[in-house]
Structure 1
Amino acid sequence: MNSLTHCPAPAKLNLFLHVTGRRPDGYHLLQTAFVLIDRADTLDFTLRDDEAIRRVTDVPGVPEEQDLIVRAARLLQQEVLRRTGALPPGVDIAIDKILPMGGGLGGGSSDAATTLMALNRLWDAGLTQQELMDLGLPLGADIPFFIFGETAFAEGVGEALRPVAVPARWYVVIEPGVQVPTASIFTSEHLTRNTPPVIMSDFSRHYADSQDGRQFGRNDLQQVATRLFPPVAEAVEWLAAHGDARMTGSGACVFCAFHSEPEADAVLQQIPSIWKGWKARTLEKHPLLRRFAGN
């Protein structure tokens, strides 16, 4: 095998996101629930005759050396060298990028996770799922979730993951047209960091008992993002007229859950033309995990 093509890097939504504290090193303590959805970037990997890692697609605003895709590939390449004493061949990486940057959908982290999963297979590196999660964590707190690859209740800085069941839903997602830098949210004086911790059974019970489409908890980062970025506030206000709308991650994208595709379509048709809107549905498992399990 010298290539792996059409490898999806799906987006995620944070069904809720609470900031419960802050560690001495400055990292924030979180509780959240991640769900994968079926809108994704797509990556292709082709082995080279040398040892170079190359991104062969231009990504505006993201220099190759700073791209998490390239950094993840080089990190795994060095890990293979450490374990085996031999450097695996280089790789050309192409990407069809559709997930917006600074959108709270985890696009960059998902791209990096797909890179680690695909190259682990392509190089026959033999790292376990947990080893890949541990390897990816220093690059981004969301990367372990994408490698975990299923709906998860997360704690710590987002790396302590447990599987959790939620009902399948359709989602309408609005891109408000701004990029929200994560750092600007977490360093804001307006961010609250003392939401009382919840237990996973509280979250699960909410979805077992709720029949009205209401989401659990809230997104503590939303109040900061809407203050700093008015288009996010406008998108939340508009979508809230159709259901329990909220921001995902640190923003900027805003979403609302619906029980059926026709309900999502009806709202999608009404979205003002100043915004980009789309629909997606829940993924039970990362497509690469299903694909590799079949090989």
Structure 2
Amino acid sequence: MSSTYSTKAYAKINLFLRLCGKYPNGYHRLFTLMQEVSVADDITVTIDPDEEDEIVVANCMEGLRQEDDLCYKAAVKYLDLIDARNYGKITIEVTKNIPSQAGMGGGSSDAASVIKLLQKRFKSPLTREELTKLGKDLGADVPFFFYGKSAFCEGIGEKVTPCKGLSGLPMLIVKPREGVSTPVCFKMCDENPPVFDEMQYKQDIKDILDKDFDPAKRVGAAADILINDMQGPACEILPVIGEIIRDLQKTAPVYVAMSGSGSAVFSIYETEAKRDEASKNIKGDHLVIPCETI
């Protein structure tokens, strides 16, 4: 008899994103705060133990080989790691709500969610540290989703430190129809790398965001030093990102920035009413998503 497991795969935004240099292997060393938001994909994993061992992604993206699907890779790596045998047919279904090419970690969250559901099926054989290592092999954003909510992420993203929560912040996400190539954006950053005192920056950020204020006041107090080093290059690649940021800055937000390497822009507000009023002033043919931090 088959068993079905379901969960929400929440998106993330990067409250800030600093590039701190590169490792010898070419990967960028980051310092960022990732924050889960209420936009989510729906993930379902169905396991039929009476069938032959097989992994199927039921609604794989058109034009993508199943073997290249991140959820498929996540299931394969997980089952190999726990040395699973005779598990039957595993069918993965993903209902997408998180926009792609947005800098919101949709694919990474989906992959982490598949692993979490398999953990449930196999009675949690892996520790969080083992899950983090597995996630790193799949993608830089994946480890964060084993922690969720609010966390500082360092290294290439695999060094995750949960921090004081920023839940309940009303937010607008505005995503232009076009995306930004992450490799191209990184290459532009490398041509003019940011220079700053990394240790002082980390201390300043943590001092402000750790204060005993409500989330909106903490974000507002830190706004002047919340920097996404990829935002400038992304705006050069796709100028509409800058236009969206300027439009949102006119709506009395607590803070506005691009998430990750784009192209989604988020805007945080003190109240839902201010957020909903701001949504009426968005110009252009963009995807507009009201949501909140969780």
Q: Which residue of 192, 210, 217 maps to 2:226?
A: 217
For structure 2, the residue ranges without an aligned partner over 5 or more in a row are none
**TM-score relative to the length of structure 2:** 0.88
Aligned length: 280
User: Cα RMSD (Å) of the superposition?
Assistant: 2.1
Q: Which residue of 2 aligns with 1:195?
A: 196
Residues 80 and 87, structure 1, Cα contact 8 Å, conserved in 2 = no
Structure 1 residues 97 and 191 mapped into 2: Cα distance closer, same or farther (>3 Å)?
A: farther
Letter in 2 for 1:67: D
Residues 256 and 265, structure 2, Cα contact 8 Å, conserved in 1 = yes
* Aligned pairs (5 A) from 1:19-98: 19-48=19-48, 49-60=51-62, 62-81=64-83, 86-98=85-97
Bigger mean CA deviation after superposition, 34-43 or 2-11: 2-11
- 1:56-85 deviations in Å (ceiling 9; x for gaps): 11424543221100000011111121xx6x
* Aligned pairs (5 A) from 1:1-295: 2-48=2-48, 49-60=51-62, 62-81=64-83, 86-124=85-123, 126-168=125-167, 169-188=169-188, 189-198=190-199, 200-207=202-209, 208=211, 210=217, 213=220, 215=223, 216-242=225-251, 243=253, 244-283=255-294
Residues 11 and 99, structure 1, Cα contact 8 Å, conserved in 2 = yes
Letter in 2 for 1:213: G
Bigger mean CA deviation after superposition, 14-23 or 166-175: 166-175
Distance 2:165 2:54 in 1: 42
Residues 33 and 154, structure 1, Cα contact 8 Å, conserved in 2 = yes
> How far is the alpha carbon of 1:234 from its aligned partner?
1.8
SS at 2:103 equivalent:
coil
Distance 1:4 1:194 in 2: 50
Residues 37 and 292, structure 2, Cα contact 8 Å, conserved in 1 = yes
Distance 1:90 1:202 in 2: 50
Letter in 2 for 1:185: C
Distance 2:230 2:63 in 1: 25
Distance 1:149 1:221 in 2: 23
> How far is the alpha carbon of 1:38 from its aligned partner?
0.8
Residues 78 and 87, structure 1, Cα contact 8 Å, conserved in 2 = no
> How far is the alpha carbon of 1:4 from its aligned partner?
3.5
SS at 1:146 equivalent:
helix
Letter in 1 for 2:264: C
Letter in 2 for 1:280: C
Distance 2:131 2:16 in 1: 26
Distance 1:191 1:57 in 2: 41
Letter in 2 for 1:54: V
> How far is the alpha carbon of 1:212 from its aligned partner?
7.9
Letter in 1 for 2:55: I
**TM-score relative to the length of structure 1:** 0.88
For structure 1, the residue ranges without an aligned partner over 5 or more in a row are 284-295
> How far is the alpha carbon of 1:201 from its aligned partner?
4.5
> How far is the alpha carbon of 1:164 from its aligned partner?
0.9
Distance 2:166 2:236 in 1: 32
SS at 1:213 equivalent:
helix
- 1:137-158 deviations in Å (ceiling 9; x for gaps): 1110110000122310111111
Could you tell me the percent identity over the aligned residues?
30
Distance 1:205 1:257 in 2: 20
Residues 98 and 106, structure 2, Cα contact 8 Å, conserved in 1 = yes
Q: Which residue of 2 aligns with 1:286?
A: none
